[in-house]
Amino acid sequence: MNKPASVPEQFDAVVVGAGFSGLYMLYRLRQLGLSVKVLDSAGDVGGTWYWNRYPGARCDIPTTDYTYSFDPELEKEWTWSEKYATQPEILEYLRFAADRLGLRPDIEFSVTVTSARWDEPEKRWTITTDGGQEIRCRYYIMATGCLSMPKSPDIEGAGRFAGRVYLTSRWPHEGADFTGQRVAVIGTGSSGIQSIPLIARQARRLTVFQRTPNFSIPAHNGPAPADRLERLAEDRDEYRDAARWSRGGVPIDPTDILGGTASEAVRRERFEAAWEQGELFGILNVFADQGVNPAANDIVAEMIREKIRSIVTDPGIAEALCPKDHYFGTKRPCLDTGYFETYDLPHVQLVDLRKQPIVSITEEGIETADESFGFDAIVYATGFDAMTGALVAADAAGRDGVSLKEKWAAGPSTYLGLMTTGFPNFFMLTGPGSPSVLSNMTVSIEQHVDWVAGCLENMRDEGLETIEPTALAEAGWNQHVQDCAAITLHPTANSWYMGANVPGKPRVFLPYIGGVNAYRQACDEVAAQGYLGFRLTGPGEDRCRDGVIRRMQPDVAMVLEFMAAAGMPPLETLSAADARALLAVTAEARPPGPEVGEVTDGVIPGPSGHLPYRLYRPAGPSEGLRPLVMYFHGGGWVLGNLDSDDPLCRDLCARSGAVVVSVNYRHAPEVRFPAAALDAFAAVQWADANAIELGGIPGQLAVAGWSAGANVAAVACQLARGAEGPHISGQLLVCPVVDSDMTRPSYTENGDGYILTTALMRWFWDHYADPADRGDPRAAPLHGNLEGLPEACIVTADFDPLRDEGVAYARALEAAGVPVRLVRARGHTHTSVTMVGVVISGAPVRAEIGEALGDFFPAP
């Protein structure tokens, strides 16, 4: 029905796509009483399930979960026949849903949107189709799917082949009969792995061209999983709700077993259970740390490789099928039915393109560097321009005529994966920056549709016409999406998640990996906070509550949640002895920190008695002298000891290549101000005098400390300068206490909820120094003379009450002519940067600190 119209049709909303998301969106918009037109280039509903008709196409999420949940009646009327339904059954389900909900009258098929323009004065979108139609609408909603734009076959000579050519993602409706044929399949992702065993059943000869072997586990398809059916029968609502608030959109019990520390028996048992279960979220949940810890990942990966070797008889072929170039899970793992077994068939051949790359497709077949192959048919299972391809292809241009393609030239930029600045009233369902492809799509689709519907309902009720994210909110979300990915192993892989499968596509992590539950929470909070980060306009209205919804590093937030759940008493409510005992217990559960060459304990003669120290020598030749760093632990002058900062000292030693000497100065309340500072100075003097014995290069001495330890380190520098020695090359101050003034904004912003609280800081000061002494430069070095001090590296954390005094010290040092490197630990708390092996996002900060320490000294 591509009738050209001279007068544009008008709708409240246009939705592009009639798959899972488009159909539900239509349903919800209708409920709001909006006029809606859905356009789809397919000939029927179904979206991805309309197009991907290749043999063996099935979902890889159990159908108990891969289903609409918004309408209990709809659920009652449909029963899936298998654990993983076939493409025809899923397509049938979507047809059933469209009919049952009466959606078809508002859907136009076989129409492709060619462009869309935002008309600012009219506050409307004008959409043009390939049939020459113009449609105007207030809201333009892309339900275009994440894996809907096939990647064009980027192989030399692809157009020349004279036989039949098939794309798994554009399979002919009449099917394909390969009986008696010589068939090539290029690509071994999910589509290839699902179709190869079935093509092998028909073909006379099947040759699989594999560039990258993929991890795949058996789907063990059959009846729907009994445990899920039982839970659904017991309480459907509870089950669906558990899915909505789960990490992946399928209810599972997330394990807390770590791969690195689990026994061999536990590892094997967990892996075999996941292998037998045949579910993606099961095999991704063998260990809690397999997505972030290379060693834990290797355990699962190697167990899968063992399975491949045990299935495929020819050791050479088995080895070629074993993935070794990426961590398990960093490329989408596959579920298969008899995939590896297929390579034992005599008429199936594997061509390893790493060994013999394709030179060209020819008229007769395929020519590799080593061989020429003749074929009757070539099947491209080469994947998609994922997540952005279909959105960009629809050629939308926003407020200033800038197209999405132009705006996203360096990678997609969205707020919540739902909208993008400059494109008012333009919504993306499961867009880049949302959990989408990393989750059960149906759960994520319903969440997005519900959020958009809620937003439009709110706008209607408030008489608003446009909504658009702010640049600040969008930049903040993009950062959060990348922060979440950065703590995982995902960015290391050349995956379509990273855009790496399409030549020239910018390399950024496309989906949101923080979890369906965390994401839903963020979206809900945005709405509850009056659409934080959005600008909303209407007649006589222009409102914007600007801000960033998630600024904290994701692993820091996890640590805070964990600590809150553990219900530890606030330290300031305890006696010093009890607080010390509690910290000692928590320290025992930490990872130990990196290996160093040697660790030895000793004592230093202090001003009144001996001070224990622990020396960390870097790995490498033991006889060589190194720069020396005197380190002072944190703990508010009350807590801490040689053990408390041990992982951090190891980390500093390993990263900087310096000998690190951690000194246990005297603590309050037993010994109050200025004992800690005087001890620190004495330790520095002693180290200078005994540098060679400690393995240090004479004259190459720096100080370092965290929190109160940074306070005494800073004071030691001032005392050394006053006493005209020893020479200190540099001072590393991590989240230092430099003042007792608690009125700076960081105290107001971060005084509660981030472990170091205002109340705890007061408790520390009260134990350490009388109010009259707190302005003394030996307690508050910010008040000292800063001229002639050693160069400094100061680390401040966003969520630290001490942040602003750290910045003030950096500025004051600079004003006094001291070179300063200010390192801002973005999204961190006072403690998180020091949590070696726990808070992965702290590693880049510590890398910078290590570099700064090295820079204090002349190059070796």
Contact criterion met (CB below 8 Å) for 719 and 677: yes
How far is Cα 554 from Cα 488, in angstroms, rounded to an integer?
11
Provide the minimum distance between the beta carbon of 87 and ligand NAP in the complex, in angstroms, as a whole number: 9
Provide the minimum distance between the beta carbon of 339 and ligand NAP in the complex, in angstroms, as a whole number: 12
Sheet holding 358-361, edge to edge: 358-361, 365-368, 372-374
Nearest residue (CB) to ligand NAP, 192 versus 709:
192
Contact criterion met (CB below 8 Å) for 140 and 127: yes
Provide the minimum distance between the beta carbon of 42 and ligand NAP in the complex, in angstroms, as a whole number: 17
How far is Cα 678 from Cα 764, in angstroms, rounded to an integer?
18
Tokens linked to 67: 């289903």
How far is Cα 14 from Cα 249, in angstroms, rounded to an integer?
28
Nearest residue (CB) to ligand NAP, 443 versus 797:
443
Q: Which amino acid is at 459?
A: M
455: enclosing H helix or E strand: helix 441-462
Residue nearest to ligand NAP (CB): 189
Provide the minimum distance between the beta carbon of 441 and ligand NAP in the complex, in angstroms, as a whole number: 9
Provide the minimum distance between the beta carbon of 305 and ligand NAP in the complex, in angstroms, as a whole number: 17
Provide the minimum distance between the beta carbon of 379 and ligand NAP in the complex, in angstroms, as a whole number: 11
Nearest residue (CB) to ligand NAP, 193 versus 703:
193
Measured on CA atoms in the order 127, 404, 471, 826, is the torsion positive or negative? Answer: positive
Provide the minimum distance between the beta carbon of 429 and ligand NAP in the complex, in angstroms, as a whole number: 17
Provide the minimum distance between the beta carbon of 798 and ligand NAP in the complex, in angstroms, as a whole number: 35
Q: Which 8-state DSSP code applies to residue 118?
A: E
Provide the minimum distance between the beta carbon of 126 and ligand NAP in the complex, in angstroms, as a whole number: 33
Nearest residue (CB) to ligand NAP, 333 versus 627:
333
846: enclosing H helix or E strand: helix 843-855
Query: Parallel, antiparallel, or unpaired: how do β-strands 377-380 and 164-167 relate?
Result: parallel
Of the candidates 783, 16, 824, the one whose C-alpha atom is nearest the C-alpha of residue 394 is 16
How far is Cα 416 from Cα 5, in angstroms, rounded to an integer?
36
Nearest residue (CB) to ligand NAP, 336 versus 376:
336
Provide the minimum distance between the beta carbon of 301 and ligand NAP in the complex, in angstroms, as a whole number: 16
Tokens linked to 629: 């760093």
Provide the minimum distance between the beta carbon of 160 and ligand NAP in the complex, in angstroms, as a whole number: 15
Nearest residue (CB) to ligand NAP, 384 versus 423:
384
Nearest residue (CB) to ligand NAP, 184 versus 396:
184
Nearest residue (CB) to ligand NAP, 97 versus 379:
379
Nearest residue (CB) to ligand NAP, 271 versus 496:
496
* CA distances (Å), origin 802, targets 634, 814, 829: 13, 19, 10
Provide the minimum distance between the beta carbon of 20 and ligand NAP in the complex, in angstroms, as a whole number: 13
Provide the minimum distance between the beta carbon of 789 and ligand NAP in the complex, in angstroms, as a whole number: 55
How far is Cα 318 from Cα 336, in angstroms, rounded to an integer?
16
How far is Cα 290 from Cα 296, in angstroms, rounded to an integer?
5
Cβ-based burial of 310 (10 A; exposed 0-12, middle 13-18, buried ≥19): exposed
How far is Cα 632 from Cα 803, in angstroms, rounded to an integer?
19
Nearest residue (CB) to ligand NAP, 42 versus 59:
59
Provide the minimum distance between the beta carbon of 393 and ligand NAP in the complex, in angstroms, as a whole number: 17
Provide the minimum distance between the beta carbon of 94 and ligand NAP in the complex, in angstroms, as a whole number: 14
How far is Cα 316 from Cα 10, in angstroms, rounded to an integer?
63
Nearest residue (CB) to ligand NAP, 194 versus 420:
194
Ordered alpha helix ranges (H), 629-707: 646-656, 675-689, 691-694
Q: Three-class SS string for 555-583?
A: HHHHHHHHHHHHCCCCHHHCCHHHHHHHH
Tokens linked to 281: 């979220």
Of the candidates 62, 221, 219, 59, the one whose C-alpha atom is nearest the C-alpha of residue 147 is 59
Look at the chain and count its residues.
860
Query: Parallel, antiparallel, or unpaired: how do β-strands 124-129 and 134-142 relate?
Result: antiparallel
Nearest residue (CB) to ligand NAP, 168 versus 444:
168
* CA distances (Å), origin 334, targets 218, 338, 339, 573: 8, 12, 10, 52
Tokens linked to 256: 């807390």
Contact criterion met (CB below 8 Å) for 636 and 767: yes
How far is Cα 298 from Cα 300, in angstroms, rounded to an integer?
6
Nearest residue (CB) to ligand NAP, 325 versus 598:
325
Of the candidates 175, 183, 219, 178, the one whose C-alpha atom is nearest the C-alpha of residue 339 is 219
Nearest residue (CB) to ligand NAP, 84 versus 764:
84
Query: Parallel, antiparallel, or unpaired: how do β-strands 426-428 and 134-142 relate?
Result: parallel
Provide the minimum distance between the beta carbon of 387 and ligand NAP in the complex, in angstroms, as a whole number: 11
How far is Cα 777 from Cα 725, in angstroms, rounded to an integer?
18
3-class DSSP state of 631: strand
Nearest residue (CB) to ligand NAP, 195 versus 656:
195
Q: Three-class SS string for 308-351?
A: HHHHCCCHHHHHHHCCCCCCCCCCCCEEECCHHHHCCCCCEEEE
Provide the minimum distance between the beta carbon of 342 and ligand NAP in the complex, in angstroms, as a whole number: 15
Nearest residue (CB) to ligand NAP, 186 versus 300:
186
Nearest residue (CB) to ligand NAP, 440 versus 466:
440
Nearest residue (CB) to ligand NAP, 40 versus 60:
60
Provide the minimum distance between the beta carbon of 190 and ligand NAP in the complex, in angstroms, as a whole number: 3
Cβ-based burial of 561 (10 A; exposed 0-12, middle 13-18, buried ≥19): exposed
Query: Parallel, antiparallel, or unpaired: how do β-strands 348-352 and 334-336 relate?
Result: unpaired
List of E strands, 590-653:
598-606, 609-617, 626-632
- Chain residues in the site for ligand NAP (CB under 6 A): 58-60, 147, 154-155, 168, 186-192, 194, 211-212, 332, 335, 353, 381-384, 437, 496, 501
User: Beta partners for 134?
Assistant: 128
